[in-house]
Homo-oligomer: A and B are copies of this chain.
Amino acid sequence: MPSFDLLIIGGGPAGHVAAKEAVAGGLSVALAERHLLGGTCLNVGCIPTKVLLGATSAAAELKAQQKRKLCSGEISFDLKALMQRKDRLVAGSRQAVEKELTALGVTLFKGEATFTGPTAAVVRTAEDETPLAFRHAILATGTRPAVFPGLAADGVRVLDSDALLSLQHIPQSILILGGGAIGLELGEWLSRLGTTIILVEAADRLAPLEDPEISAQLKTALAREGWKIHLGKKAISLQTVGDAARCQLEDGSVLEAQLALTALGRRPNTDGLGLEAAGMSTDARGFIQIDDHLRAAPTVHAVGDVNGRALWAHAAMHQARHAVRAMVTSQDKPYPFPSMPGCIYGTHEVMRVGKTSRQLASSGREVFVSRAPLAANPLAQAHGASAGLIQCVWDGEHLAGVTAMGWNVSHLVTLAQALVDRHARRNDFESLIFAHPTLDESLEAALLHAPLERFGEA
């Protein structure tokens, strides 16, 4: 029976990084992936959405300047060529991952792994079944689109995000169920292709994980682009009816569009893993339960989306590094669960780093907020994109978070992260030199010059 120091189940960002770090740490590594190397992020998540948004940004820039009558013109996108380009870039990266892992000596199994005990598993590929032994395992199987009764994708007019990323015809209209990152980014992309966007969100605001002020700014900006946004509306059914997608809301009203996207979150991939055999269990939402060391069982770390803590590729990679470090060094420290930076991309972007004002206030801290509108920024003005703002969150006197909505604010994310990491007082940031003119100067304005308002006193 082949035996490995480390068995990794799942070849997404977490599995990929874990394999590299483990090899660097001297471990023998097997990695099993039942679908595609690169996981959700590379194949049906961060990367293809960014390719589609990046390739269509000219349409957004054109629209903004046309509104100001500075130019005229039209851009017509070739959807087939767009999809081919996306597929080529994704396939290229996927092949690069495979090549890299193979070159590192990682044993790759293209098949499904099932735990048969705390240090044993079996991997089924198309050809055969391999029992194997391991000392450590990392479970990083990720998530897939969530499905709710009555609201499931049917592959005809009702699609999930995986299917939408292989779209073959540009719809005239789309009904998007869910106002989180996935629904927003795909909506922004289709909007640039000329599709009318109808968005339904059960919560009372878009991007419900963000600060309410950011949600409000986003709604205003998207409504101005022509999005029809229904907030606080619960859908009770979504299905193909004739040549349309039809959605019935709890309040009795009915919405129709040529296509629909269900983007109601993600559910963990935990089926067929033999969780009990390795001593693992799931929480109420179905995610793998972990302790404060990211351990799901004495021999198994569960990292990335599958543990449900922070559904970001960079969070998954960060957790993977921590898990491997515990195996290859004598340091078995608790995982700090840091606040993860996050972005929503598009014409109207969202960025968040550290704590939100609500999070801090709910833990009893004295919270202040300072803001700078992008309307005053010369670069945002130049791009005809003056909606939005940057908000700094202060834990007493110390910077604890930054969030923003507006043109290109994703570009501020690592800068904001580096500043929040200092957890410093306002005056401590005075020595940082901001070049002129930059979008960064709006962050400077919020950081150094805007009045501090006590949270809750608006």
Contacts and interface: CB of A to CB of B under 8 A. Distances in A.
Interface of A: 13, 41, 46-47, 50-59, 61-62, 65, 68-78, 81-82, 85, 89, 93, 312-314, 317-318, 338, 340-343, 378-379, 381-384, 408, 410-411, 413-415, 417-419, 421, 431-440, 443
Contacts of A433: 314, 318, 338, 340-341, 417
Which of A54, A72, A340 has the most CB atoms of chain B within a 10 A radius of its CB? A54
Nearest to A416: B415
16 contacts: A46-B436, A47-B437, A54-B379, A55-B382, A57-B383, A73-B76, A313-B437, A318-B433, A338-B433, A340-B435, A411-B411, A413-B435, A414-B434, A415-B415, A415-B418, A418-B418
Contact of A78 (B41, B50, B72): B72
Nearest to A71: B77
A85 B73 contact: no
A65 B51 CA distance: 11
A437 B41 CA distance: 9
Chain A interface, >50% SS class:
helix
Copies of the protein in its oligomer: 2
Which of A78, A417, A433 has the most CB atoms of chain B within a 10 A radius of its CB? A433
Contact of A51 (B317, B381, B432): B381
Contacts of A435: 312, 314, 340-343, 410, 413-414, 417
B432 A411 contact: no
Nearest to A413: B435
A-B complex: 5 closest residue pairs judged by Cβ atoms: A54-B382, A73-B75, A58-B61, A411-B411, A414-B440
Nearest to A63: B58
A417 to B, nearest CB: 6
A421 B431 contact: yes
Contacts of A419: 418
B437 A411 contact: no
Contact of A436 (B13, B52, B56): B13
Contacts of A421: 431-432
A311 to B, nearest CB: 12
A89 B13 CA distance: 45
Contacts of A379: 50, 54
A415 B443 CA distance: 12
A303 to B, nearest CB: 15
A56 B410 CA distance: 21
Contact of A89 (B52, B71, B381): B381
A216 to B, nearest CB: 23
A374 to B, nearest CB: 13
Contacts of A71: 55-56, 58, 75-78, 81-82
A51 B343 CA distance: 26
Nearest to A429: B418
A344 to B, nearest CB: 11
Contacts of A78: 69-72
Contacts of A378: 46-47, 50-51, 89, 93
A61 B63 CA distance: 13
Contacts of A434: 314, 341, 414, 417
B41 A70 contact: no
A348 B417 CA distance: 26
A75 B62 contact: yes
B57 A61 contact: yes
A75 B76 CA distance: 12
A124 to B, nearest CB: 31
Nearest to A385: B54
B436 A414 contact: no
A317 B436 contact: yes
Contact of A62 (B13, B58, B382): B58
Contacts of A318: 433
Given A51-B381, A58-B62, A414 B437 contact: no
Nearest to A79: B70
A178 to B, nearest CB: 21
